[in-house]
Chain A
Amino acid sequence: MSSKSDVKLIDSKGKRLDGRKPDELRKIKIEAGVLHRAEGSCYLEWGGNKVLAAVYGPREALPKHTQNPLRAIVKARYNMAAFSVEDRKRPGPDRRSVEISKVISEALEKIILTDKFPRASIDVSIEVLDAEAGTRCAGLTAAGVALADAGIPMKDIPVACAAGKIDGKVVLDLGKEEDNFGDADLPVAISPRTGEILLLQMDGHLTLEEFDEAFDLAVKGCHIVSEIQKKAIADKYKTAVAEVE
């Protein structure tokens, strides 16, 4: 969060740079089952973000010492394509993507019924193809759909959305300039059925009141995205049924 006072992020009518209202999400498109080899997959567009998620497993966890005799391990790998950002990113993991992979793995582990698959590994591959602020939320949301598509038993379909603060005002789902020049960013992932918080990060600064407002807004966003997730999964089967008939 680097503040630049000369960048105006909200105009006098309360509209944001891309014309959105404070509590409005960017456009989201989700498609389930887009890859052939993966056991489950999802393609997701969220504003200018384009993300693919694929799931393999449950399969034997390798190397063997990583196995847990009581439950499955969940390994998410968040990766950005070299061409997904303005200045080419060197291929391979960096510290940022290792951290994001870790927090996403932990969020997914909470929601998957891991005790059904001792010694197994459930591998989730998240590829960011085009990046424009909010890729971790987009990635986790895509992973949720891919897991459901793979038929992995879960308590719920996890979903993520961020809220933040720009020009001193709490808004939903930060865009690119808002992320660069805003005051705070608060990505949240929840289990929409129970409201349990699976992932929470924040940078910038918020008062306690602002946090309350931003958190509630992020959760509200999660519920909207959750409906799009469910529709994407239902649509896949509708298409399949239509093809059979």
Chain B
Amino acid sequence: MPIIASLKRDYLSKLAEQGKRADGRKFDEYRKIEIETNIVSKAEGSAKVKIGNTQVLVGIKMDVGEPYPDAPNCGVMSTAAELIPMASPDFEAGPPQEDAVELARVVDRGIRESQIIDVEKLCIEPMDKDNKGKVWVVFIDIHILDYDGNLFDAASLAALAALFTAKVPAKRFEVGEDYPLPLKEPPVSCTSVKFNGAVVFDPSLDEEEIAEARLTVATDKNGHIRAMQKGLSGSFTKEEIKKVIKASIDNGKEIRKILQKSIGK
């Protein structure tokens, strides 16, 4: 494996020096993005996102549960990711490994911290004196089907599309009529990796394997930064970060259009 990696590194680095990528894309160019919504009838909302050959399916399930004491009038959300053996010869069955946990947490943070879900509208009965209450619990389950690089963007995008198609199953739980999940304007995540001095967006599997550093930037429709995550052991310069943010805003605009089209907005 290290031999193959170093051959790949040489090849991709040489191409990068000439301003090229192995699949002919520009440095800031994404592969083709396709979003399909409402594909799982048992889920409250679902979406499958394809970025190139990478395929991620996200399903939303909802249940009635207890609120947390520090947020007695708010619904609860929970995000889980499974890197199932179907998606890659290197994924193994078993409890979530650290990669899956990081992925779930980055997607979770993007949704939680930007307050896309209006959790206050997910309260059924506020907590009373005995600390008993009823709120909606939103489960976001990320299922990786085919891993060919850039799970961060595919998973975040699939989670957003799934949330936007979700209906609160109030009728099934006998607490009123179904209604669309209350959501706000979402930020869109863009991921880039750096190797041998080059920074490329939407890394392919090969590019990810040789990457020294990774940066995910979530931007909203006003072009403001809403979340960032740097990964891997390499480093960026301040100039590189600024360039990445600018390109993330531009790419984010295009991806937002694809997202809105897929959810019928």
Determine if A88 and B53 form an interchain contact, defined as CB atoms under 8 angstroms apart: no
CA distance A52 to B84 in the complex (A): 12
A residues 70-126 with Cβ under 8 Å of B? 77, 79, 81-88, 91-93, 123, 125
Distance between A96 CB and nearest chain B CB, rounded to angstroms: 16
A residues touching B (Cβ–Cβ < 8 Å)? 35-38, 48, 50, 52, 54, 56, 59, 77, 79, 81-88, 91-93, 123, 125, 127, 129-132
Contact between chains at B59 and A83 (CB < 8 Å): yes
Neighbour of B87 across the interface among A37, A50, A77, A82, CB < 8 A? A37
Q: Is the CB of A77 within 8 A of B85?
A: yes
CA distance A86 to B172 in the complex (A): 10
Q: How far is the CA of A86 from the CA of B62 in the complex (A)?
A: 10
Known: A35-B145, A81-B59, A129-B39. 4 other contacts (CB 8 A): A36-B55, A77-B85, A87-B63, A132-B42
Residues of A within 8 A of B42 (CB): 83-86, 130-132
Whether A83 pairs with B85 at a CB distance below 8 angstroms is no
Contacts of A93 in B (CB 8 A): 93
Min CB distance A113 to B, Å, is 22
Which B residues are CB-close (under 8 A) to A37?
A: 53, 87-89, 146-148
A83–B148 touching, CB < 8 Å: no
Number of A-B contacts (CB under 8 A): 91
With known contacts A37-B146, A81-B143, A83-B42, A127–B86 Cβ distance under 8 A: yes
Does B95 belong to the interface (CB within 8 Å)?
yes
Distance from B163 Cβ to chain A, minimum over Cβ atoms (Å): 13
Selected from A50, A54, A88, A123, the residue in CB contact (under 8 A) with B39 is A50
Q: Is the CB of A82 within 8 A of B139?
A: yes
| A38 and B40 alpha carbons, distance in the complex (Å) | 22
Cβ proximity bits B25-50 to A, threshold 8 Å, 1 near / 0 not: 00000000000000111110010000
**Distance in angstroms between the alpha carbons of A175 and B172 in the assembled complex:** 21
| B86 touching A83, Cβ below 8 Å | no
User: Quick one: closest B residue to A48, CB to CB?
Assistant: B41
Q: Give the CA-CA distance A125 to B82 in the complex, in Å.
A: 13
Q: List 6 A-B contacts (CB under 8 A).
A: A36-B55, A82-B141, A91-B82, A91-B141, A125-B84, A127-B86
Q: How far is the CA of A18 from the CA of B42 in the complex (A)?
A: 18
C-alpha spacing A125/B143, complex, angstroms:
13
Contacts of B40 in A (CB 8 A): 50, 81, 83-84, 129-130
User: Which 8 pairs from chain A and chain B are nearest by CB?
Assistant: A83-B59, A36-B53, A125-B86, A88-B61, A83-B43, A82-B141, A54-B86, A35-B146
Chain B residues whose C-beta falls within 8 Å of the C-beta of A48 in the assembled complex: 41
Residues of B within 8 A of A131 (CB): 42
- In-complex Cβ contact of A91 among B46, B80, B87 (8 A): B80
**Interfacial chain A residues near B57, Cβ < 8 Å:** 81, 129
- Return chain B residues, CB-CB under 8 Å to A85: 42
Which B-chain residue is minimally distant from A123 (CB atoms)? B85
Whole-angstrom CA separation of A83 from B82 in the bound complex:
12
CB of B117 closer than 8 Å to a CB of A: no
- B60 interface contact, C-beta 8 A: yes
Contact status B143-A88, CB under 8 Å: no
A83–B146 CA distance with the chains assembled, in angstroms: 18
User: In whole angstroms, how far apart are the Cα atoms of A132 and B82 in the complex?
Assistant: 22
Q: Are A127 and B143 in contact (CB under 8 A)?
A: yes
Q: Report the nearest B residue to A81, measured CB to CB.
A: B143
Contact string against A for B residues 154-181, beta-carbon threshold 8 Å, 1 for contact and 0 otherwise: 0000000000000000001000000000
Chain B neighbourhood of A91, CB < 8 A: 80, 82, 96, 141
